[in-house]
Amino acid sequence: MIVRMFVGTSQRVLGIDPGLTRCGYAVLDAHGPSIALVSIGVLRTATDDSLPERLARLHRDLSDLLAEFRPTSVAVEQVFFQVNVRTAMSVGQVSGLALALAHAAGCTVVQYTPNQVKEAVTGWGGAGKEQVQRMVQARLGLTTAPAPADAADAAALAICHLAVGPVHQRLIAAGAPDVHGRARSRRKAGR
């Protein structure tokens, strides 16, 4: 599977897979059709710390990432569906933190659902985590699959953002309800 990149100019994208215990991040540089991994990892918080302490830690860490790498765009996984309400709340809090910090840093900020990311990276919206990790490894020319899965998911978010193209990136960032079924949900807004 070849993922077509629509990158016409240089971009630096920060992908964020939000999570309270593990928040994955990946920084990619794109020059034309080539993509280079700049940094990848996971921000962690201690489960025995209070929620405000954990969010403050992530605030500092995300702010440091934005200051150090100065991305042009930030792609954040959209909380689409969670069975566990407590998990959904904490992921939503971290997601909101990432969105606000990225916007304040002057970045183009976009969200993609997990299915959109999987479709852009593997060609199939129902791909498993292992498939996503292998495709991220192949696309970035890595000797091993990125781990943990949170870091691989963050890299996949950045790859997805680069794959949708600059016109769609601007539409998504502006909140377009549908972008040819590609980067937004296939379902039309209001239905």
Tell me if 7 sits within 8 A of 162, measured CB to CB.
yes
150 is catalytic: yes
- Which ranges of 70-180 would DSSP assign to H, the alpha helix? 85-104, 114-122, 129-140, 149-164, 166-173
Tokens at residue 118, please? 């999987």
77 is catalytic: yes
17 is catalytic: yes
State the catalytic residue, choosing from 77, 119, 153, 178: 77
* Element spanning 191, H or E: none
State the catalytic residue, choosing from 68, 150, 153, 178: 150
Tell me if 138 sits within 8 A of 123, measured CB to CB.
no
DSSP 30-73: EETTEEEEEEEEEEE--TTS-HHHHHHHHHHHHHHHHHHH--SE
Catalytic positions, written as ranges: 17, 77, 150
